[in-house]
Chain A
Amino acid sequence: MISIKNLHKKFGDLEVLKGIDADVQKGQAIVVIGPSGSGKTTFLRCLNTLETPTSGSVTIDEQTADFSKPLSKKQIMAFRKQSAMVFQHYNLFPHMTALENVMEGPITVQKQDKKLARKKAEQLLTKVGLGEKINDYPFQLSGGQQQRVGIARALALEPKVMLFDEPTSALDPELVGEVLQVMKDLAAEGMTMVVVTHEMRFAKGVADEVLFMDEGRIIERGKPEDIFNHPTEERTKRFLSLIQKTDVI
């Protein structure tokens, strides 16, 4: 489903991604972990071309973007459709209701029929457990509810791949579960997902594979039980012992 080849990203002189190679099979849920500043967010944003990689290529479902040559706006737009992003801080549109947030992409961008888009948006919001809140503005919703709207908004685009950047790290602890449950359901339905998270529960319970990133490289990848119980790389061990001690995960 996703094939990433030799992906590099520089911000000026700072090389943040130093050659990433990875494949993700259809229906897999991949969890990316790694220390702060290791490039996890940048990696996700490159997959959605929110950042334009410096070089390398990404293939999502037979659409390839080769970043060694400049891409036109049209090519970037076409490639971006393949995936949808869920942000750490939700980034909902505050001037639109939950329903309008979810309908915005289908109507404004995909030019879908309004009635149809509305029906679909209602279904999606019901699916994430917000059927009663469709006419609320974001400020009327809790963080967990806002993030679930964010997930519905991304799903409304009918992407091939869902990208999550620390979707629960801005939430109060008691609200984390409801968001993880929605993501778990998605994974169970066979959605292909790349998730940056420090949620051990999610990684262990849902992920098909865990990638450990450090300093712009993928240091180690494997099944969650292998990575968490018998990491082979020294850096992975150090990172895991650190987060297990401080219970950040």
Chain B
Amino acid sequence: MKFPKNGLVKMYLNSIFSDPVRMERLVDIAQSSFLPLIEATLQFTLPLSIISFIFGLILAILTALARISTVKIFQIIARVYVSIIRGTPLLVQLFILFYGLPTLGITIDPFPAAVIGFSLNVGAYASEVIRAAILSIPKGQWEAADTIGMSYTQSLRRVILPQASRVSLPPLSNTFISLIKDTSLASLILVTEMFRVAQQIAATNYEFLLLYGQAALLYWVICFALSLVQGRLEHRFDRYVSR
């Protein structure tokens, strides 16, 4: 690694602040790149995150139910799926989907390929969270649902999952926040999400620190907003437990 010699950082900052032309250039770039970055966020980063999270959650619930079902084959399929996803890097999975599958004649556009990759990922990780949450609901709840005549799906929908969702809200929020940050990997399979746009702009003007800093700031703002939403949701959920 190369560190600037003593004084170089100061020189760099000086060169910016004492040089009105350079200063102006940086402000210009920051301003003009702001809109494209926001656009890419709204067009790709957020949709990719939200769609993948929804599909992923559905997949996760199904996988969790398969894991706790008494049917052996369901258990095995769920275990193998979770093990494969957790045991391989996300980036490798995305590359297989986008660059690998065409070899078999299966060609997927960048955005759908990313949605598939991220959904599969969320599905595997969140299934463990949801499984643990379901198992944490006391057996008496299933029995009470049984005795008032509920079917398995009614018990899940009305009694078990509402309670399990309270338990799993904090870990699932973490999953969502990780997902938002991980969508930057989609730039490597040519999805023009926010980070890819930042890369493209930086490639034209060489202001890497500025552009990547802007991207980092945007990710942080999104994740911070999300943590506020999480807090409110938790508060709502907690209305039925003693404090």
Cα-based distance from A93 to B239 in the complex (angstroms)? 13
Q: Is the C-beta of B3 less than 8 angstroms from some C-beta in chain A?
A: no
Q: Is the C-beta of B150 less than 8 angstroms from some C-beta in chain A?
A: yes
- Known contacts A91-B141, A94-B240, A110 near B149 by CB under 8 Å: yes
Cα-based distance from A80 to B163 in the complex (angstroms)? 25
Q: Is the C-beta of B146 less than 8 angstroms from some C-beta in chain A?
A: yes
Contact with A along B113-136 (1 / 0, CB 8 A): 000000000000000000000000
Number of B interface residues in the complex (CB < 8 A): 21
Which applies to chain B's interface (DSSP): helix, strand, loop or mixed? helix
CB pair B148 A87 closer than 8 Å = no
B residues contacting A by CB (< 8 A) are 138, 140-141, 143-144, 146-151, 154, 158-159, 162-163, 166, 239-242
Most buried by A among B144, B147, B239: B147
CB pair B239 A109 closer than 8 Å = no
- Chain B residues near A138: list those with CB within 8 A: 240
CB pair B143 A109 closer than 8 Å = no
Cα-based distance from A138 to B241 in the complex (angstroms)? 9
Contact with B along A65-83 (1 / 0, CB 8 A): 0000000010001001100
- Known contacts A80-B149, A84-B147, A109-B149, A139 near B240 by CB under 8 Å: yes
Cβ < 8 Å to B, chain A residues 82-115: 84-85, 87, 89, 91-96, 104-105, 108-110
Say which residue of B144, B147, B162 sits within 8 Å of A92 (CB atoms).
Answer: B144
CB pair A94 B150 closer than 8 Å = no
By Cβ-Cβ distance, the 10 closest A-B pairs, closest first, are A105-B148, A91-B144, A91-B140, A109-B149, A85-B147, A139-B242, A137-B240, A95-B240, A95-B162, A108-B158
CB pair B149 A93 closer than 8 Å = no
- Smallest CB–CB gap between B142 and chain A, Å? 9
CB pair B166 A109 closer than 8 Å = no
Contacts A/B (CB < 8 Å), 15 sampled? A50-B147, A80-B147, A80-B149, A81-B149, A85-B143, A87-B143, A91-B141, A92-B144, A93-B144, A94-B163, A94-B241, A104-B148, A109-B148, A154-B148, A157-B148
- Known contacts A87-B140, A87-B143, A109-B154, A95 near B163 by CB under 8 Å: yes
Cα-based distance from A144 to B144 in the complex (angstroms)? 18
- Chain A residues near B150: list those with CB within 8 A: 105, 108-109
Q: Is the C-beta of A221 less than 8 angstroms from some C-beta in chain B?
A: no
Q: Which residue of B lies closest to A157 (CB)?
A: B148
CB pair A87 B240 closer than 8 Å = no
Cα-based distance from A93 to B241 in the complex (angstroms)? 11
| Size bracket of the A interface | 20 to 34
- Smallest CB–CB gap between A46 and chain B, Å? 13
Cα-based distance from A174 to B171 in the complex (angstroms)? 41
Cα-based distance from A154 to B149 in the complex (angstroms)? 11
Q: Which residue of A lies closest to B137 (CB)?
A: A94
Cα-based distance from A31 to B122 in the complex (angstroms)? 53
Q: Is the C-beta of A197 less than 8 angstroms from some C-beta in chain B?
A: no
Q: Which residue of B lies closest to A139 (CB)?
A: B242
